[in-house]
Every structure is written in structure tokens, then in C-alpha cells.
Structure 1
Amino acid sequence: METIEYHPRRDQLVYTFGGSAPVLRIKPGTALRLWSEDAFNNALTSVDDVSGEKVDLRFVNPQTGPFHVEGAEPGDTLALHIVDLTPARSYGASATIPFFGGLTSTDRTAFLQDPLPDTTWIYHVDSVRGTVGFQARFGDFEVALPLEPMLGTVGVAPPGGEVRSSLVPERFGGNMDAPDVRAGTTVYLGVNVEGALFSIGDGHYRQGEGEACGTAVEGAMNSTIIVELIKGGAPAWPRLETDAQWMAVGSSRPMEDSWRIGQLEMVRWFGELFGLHQLDAYQLLTQTALAPIANAVDANYSVVVKAAKQLFPEAHAYSGMHADLRQRGAQLI
């Protein structure tokens, strides 16, 4: 398996999906070892740093990429298997940002109240214990939390020549902030343009479902990813597969539309997996699905709809692509 390492310079980072020339051309089957910057562009390194003074909103959620996948055409399915995610720094940052987050007034949901204080938390990584340390800013409480690295953003170029901010999740993927996008997960994305032009970024050292305050434990990340291409069969919305679950991600506003999108995509997937009529798939999904909130704070909200694979042991998505990629990935660790 060909392995390529890529560590972008700061001037090579991009802040959109679409609109940027590819940094590399790669063949399907290639393994990539990538470095990505944190969502704040490393602007918050101390509790004395606050977003209003340090963070340039033109340059947040920097992406590593895009990468041109040879042979990828509109209508194909890009499979990205995450082999490993490892923090690239000894600390991560989180913050409450004025008029941003799930439990405050925003630019869209406006109330007659002052913004929450612009406050920064720094989490220190203990790589030996595999933890990140929370320290209260307004008291003496401390707790060591398990490291659970994930990628907040993974996506391809949108269709129709669109250029979308790296803060936005949509059918092309993007800033989904789904904790399930972690090591051991295969992400399936529909290809919209020649070469797919995918990128990754927004590493999180851990994040709860919903990302309530709007920021996770944001940190630079070392990622190992295998890139594969499936001709045809493009999903309408992002799909995820782990050893235990199939998942579909819907991103929209209001949140019930995100839920509906994820449910519909799973109905479609059940139809493909089991050869079911749409209404039978709908009924089966109703009795088996879970639907956690991935994020309730981004430009669009994201909901992940999950189905347990143990209920359907005879079914294999994409001809067993995930299991094959898991085996290949074991060679890289």
C-alpha cells in the first residue's frame, strides 16, 4: 500500500469545501498520514487568550487538502477509512464565544440579554494515561477525561461549482462534528466533481454529543486515513460504518429536518442492504434506529441516525468495503 505524508504550511491551509486547487493527486488505495491545525488556528494557547481578541473569523476551521482522487467522477462513492487519530499537541482549547453556542442568544435566535463571557479553557493531554484534563475556571474542580479523538470536518467539494465555508455541514459532509468520525470508522461520501477534492480538519480531542457550547476540545491532529473509491452508488448524504453500526448524517435547520434527512438516508440504505420496499424499510428503521444529535450549534445542525449491525448479521454494505479497509489499516499501526 502506497503511503503519503502531508503536513501543510500555514499558507496551504484552506477554509472552504470547493473553490481550491488540489494539493495532491492520489490513487485509490493510498494511505495518507496527515497533520491538521485546530479550529482556532492555534490562536488560543492560554486561558488568558480570548476569542474576541485572538481568533480571526476569516481563518477558522482550517482544512488539510483538498486531495484529488484519480478516477473519481460525479456519482461515485468516496470511502475514507480512519485508521488512527493522535493528538499533535500536548494541549487542546475550548471556549465560550459571545452569541455562539447552544445555550445562549445567537444571531438567529435573539433575546434581550448580554452575551456569555468570552472565556477560554485549556485541556492538557496526558498521552501516557490517555486523558485530557478539565480545570474549572470559576472554582477548584478538576477531572481527567478519556481522550476520544475525532475529526469535526471531513468532506468533498459540493456540486454545481459551489464554495461552502468549512464551518458548514451539508450533504457534501463538512463540519458535521459527529463524535462517530473517529478511528475505526469508514466515511462514505458522494462524489460531486472530478477527483472528489476531499479535505479534513477540525480535530477534537474529545466532544460530547451536541457540542453544547459550540466548541469541543479543539486540537491539532495527526491522522492516518486510507482512501478508496467505489464506482457509482453515491449516497445522497454522508454515511458512516463501524464494526458495530451503520449510520447516516443529516445536516440542516431546523433540527427536525436534520433528523428527517438522516432517517430518509437510512431508509434508502436499508433498501440497498436488504432489498426492501421503501415502506418496509421505513417500518424496520422505526423499530431499530438510534438518533443522537451530533451538533446543535453549527450553521446547520447535524443528527446521526444509527442502526446496529448485530441485528442484521448477514448484511454487508458496499461488498464488505469496511471490513477490507479495517484489515488494510491494521498493517499501518
Structure 2
Amino acid sequence: MSPHVPAPEGRFHLPTTPKTARWGTLPHPGSSPVLIVRDGETVTVDTVSHEGILEDQGRDPVRFFGAYGVAEREVLPDARAIAESTLERDPGADGPHVVTGPISVTGAMPGDLLKVETLSLHRRADYGIVSSRHGKGALPGHLPAPDTADSAATRRLPSGTVSTFCTVEADATARPVGVIPYGTTGRAARFPLRPFMGVMGVTAATAHPLSTVPPGRHGGNLDVKVLDTGTALYLPVQIDGAGFYTGDPHYAQGNGEVALTALEAPLRATFRLTVLKGAAARRAVGLIDTPFGESDTHWIAIGLHKDLDEAMRAAVRAALTFLTSRAGMDAASAYAYLSAAADLEISQVVDQVQGVHCLIRKSDIGELPSDIPVQKGEFMSETAVSPDCSGTKGTP
């Protein structure tokens, strides 16, 4: 099922090239912006997946995907260019992700919020990869197993990485679905696609570049699958210009992302980047000072921590902060509401820092009050996190 990739829809079009991308690390305060936009402008980013170009896969996407029957002409030129580039990356210390940016937004300053609206996501290929490697999934020491046998979809590489090739096909209603064949009888698992960007973040005010793997107060590798087309992500700005970046495109992901990766594949993503200051920021999320999401139907409180139980507690505290500081609920009522009606879902358990997100139905809360609180939120000191989300408050 060949994808139709429409023309760039944003005011600006940002391709991913060795000059606009970083590989394995996030932008830092010394990174020069690859694009400068005004508040409220839109940007279309052609994102590149790391799967098929990594060292443990041979760093040759034509050869790697060719082993699955993908013709050379169907391997994206930008993926080939990144694989062949001299972009610095330490495989032993840095993350795997190709990150495009930073994009500087005029007027953004520390203390503001950057509202990142995902306006559209379009597939750039009709195939993708799910990989399990280095004992870093949910079952380290058990999978990937050393005796994993190759099949029509799955190959065990000399590095030990097990990569499963997925195609995109049309189901009986002409909707695209992911397909993983298995066994010898022509059977396959078919699942719905829900494209989203795994990495969306702002530049952290750190002395050294951060790995792309763990998420934090800066956002980054959040892997929250409900942050798809039509949603917004609010991020606390930490440096002048915000320094927005994105990467890690997914066609589909199950909550947990247990094998280590989701269905990784390239997307054309269009964003609107808006700076919210003072009262406008409080009208959006109350006194939240960590990444926070919004869809047409839900508010999305995000909890991050190296311990999954603590990530859950962080998500509850973030939800309480929002409900008390923005919706005007008292803490006891908000706590009771969360227990009765909100859904806490595991975002991912494989990114060093674990993620849990809490879904609060907008229809349950109704229209938010027009007045804006000025008092400190009861739970704010507990939701503040350091870049590694250890739970300690520190310099962002």
C-alpha cells in the first residue's frame, strides 16, 4: 500500500539532512538553530527513522531493507544520507534517534510554555521495523533470545539485534494496517496504525547534550502514543527561543513499547509552535511545570521516573496539580475523581526513565473557570523533576 505524501503543509519545510539533524543526542544551549520561526507559525518536518540505519543493522539501509525485499528506489534518500554521513554519535553512550532541530521560536523565554500542536502526520514509506536489542526491552535476559530463528519477517543480525519487518496494507475497508507475518501457513498479525512522533521537546538548559533516550522535563522521548494528529503538547521553555526538535517517528505503538521499539518508520509531520506567557500559560495548564498534553477529548497528565511506580505517582500528582490549579477542584474531590473516572496508562517501560500518562476526560470536567489562580499549586514541589526524572528537584 504505497503512501500518498502530500506537499508540505506548513509555512516552512524542514528536511532532515546531516546539516539539520543530530544523531543520538539532543540539542543543547550552544546548538545553532537550523530554523527560526515566529510565534504561531507552522513547520513541516520530514522525519527519519533510525531503524535500518544503525550500526548494529549494518548502517546501510539499502542492503538492510533489501534483505526484506525492499527495492533500492523505495529506500528514502534522506535515510541513506544520514547513514552515510559523518554525524557524530557514540553508539555506546548516545541514543539511536535521528533528531531534527533545534527550531528557535521568536520571543520564547524561560518561564514560558511552548505549545506544540501536531497538525498532520503522513507516512513516507509503506514499511517499518520493530526491533529488540541489547536486552533493553521489558524482558531483559529473556528476549531477544540467542536462538531466535529467522522467518519471513524477523531476522537475527550478527550484532544480536532482532528486527521484525512490517508492511502496511489495506484492510477490507481500505484502511491502512500494519502486518507482521508469522509461521509457515501464511498467517499474519494485523493491527491498526496510529502515527505519532515519539520525540518532541525543547532544549534543556544543561551544560552538555543529553542522550535522546530518557525523557524529562524537556519532553524528548516521551513515547506517549495519544499525542497524535490533532493534539497539543505543552513544554516548559528553558532557554531563549525554546529550541524545539522532533524525531523518532512511529506508525503504531502499544502502550508499554515492550520489545524496545514501536513500529518505527518515517513521517512527514506538520506542527504549529505557539509561545504562551504568564496568564495565557496558566489558562492552558494551570500551574503545571512538566510536559502536559491535550486532545479534543482529554487532558493528558504525564509522569516520568526511573521507577514505574514513581512514574505513576508523578502522573497522579500532575493530574492533581492541573485539576486543583486550573479546574478549581479541591484536592480531595480531585483525588476521588481520578480514582473513579481517570485512566492511567503506561506510556513506555524501555527508555531508562519510565512513563505513565493520565487521561482526564474533558466532558467530565466541563468548561474551565475563566479566572486564573495565582497561588502556588499544592502539588507543584512534588511534580518538579530533574532532567533524568529521578524525582529530585534540580537545575533543568
- Amino acid in the other structure paired with 2:11: T
CA distance in 2, matches of 1:17, 1:281: 36
- 1:7-46 C-alpha deviation (Å, 9 max, x unpaired): 0213431132332221111111111111111033644543
Match of residue 70 from structure 1: 106
- Amino acid in the other structure paired with 1:94: V
Change (3 A) 1:4 1:140: same
Change (3 A) 1:173 1:115: farther
Match of residue 123 from structure 2: 87
Match of residue 123 from structure 1: 166
Give the deviation of 1:160 after TM superposition: 4.2
RMSD of the TM alignment (CA)?
Answer: 2.9
Alignment of 1:6 onto 2:25: no
CA distance in 2, matches of 1:318, 1:155: 29
Match of residue 99 from structure 1: 135
Alignment of 1:67-216 (within 5 A): 67-105=103-141, 118-126=161-169, 129-136=175-182, 140-216=186-262
- 3-state DSSP of counterpart to 2:262: coil
- 1:92-149 C-alpha deviation (Å, 9 max, x unpaired): 111121312002239xxxx9x9697632111112376412221227874313322210
- 3-state DSSP of counterpart to 2:309: helix
Corresponding residue pairs, total: 310
- Amino acid in the other structure paired with 1:31: T
Asked if the contact 2:202/2:242 (under 8 Å) is kept, the reply is yes
Match of residue 325 from structure 1: none
- 1:147-177 C-alpha deviation (Å, 9 max, x unpaired): 2101111111123445311111111111111
What TM-score comes out, normalization by structure 1 length?
Answer: 0.84
Alignment of 1:39 onto 2:50: yes
CA distance in 2, matches of 1:195, 1:317: 29
Match of residue 6 from structure 2: none
Asked if the contact 1:132/1:145 (under 8 Å) is kept, the reply is yes
- Amino acid in the other structure paired with 1:188: Y
CA distance in 2, matches of 1:59, 1:35: 20
Change (3 A) 1:139 1:46: farther
Match of residue 34 from structure 2: 23
Give the deviation of 1:59 after TM superposition: 6.3
What TM-score comes out, normalization by structure 2 length?
Answer: 0.71
Change (3 A) 1:317 1:71: farther
Alignment of 1:267 onto 2:320: yes
Asked if the contact 1:47/1:122 (under 8 Å) is kept, the reply is no
- 3-state DSSP of counterpart to 2:322: helix
- 1:28-70 C-alpha deviation (Å, 9 max, x unpaired): 1111111111033644543858xxxx99835621111111111
- Amino acid in the other structure paired with 2:307: P
Asked if the contact 2:27/2:101 (under 8 Å) is kept, the reply is no
Change (3 A) 1:317 1:310: farther
Match of residue 275 from structure 2: 229
Alignment of 1:301 onto 2:354: yes
CA distance in 1, matches of 2:369, 2:215: 27
Structure with the larger RCO, 1 or 2 (CA within 8 Å, 6+ apart): 1
Sequence identity of aligned pairs in percent? 25
Alignment of 1:238 onto 2:291: yes
Asked if the contact 1:121/1:137 (under 8 Å) is kept, the reply is no
Change (3 A) 1:174 1:2: closer
Give the deviation of 1:253 after TM superposition: 1.3
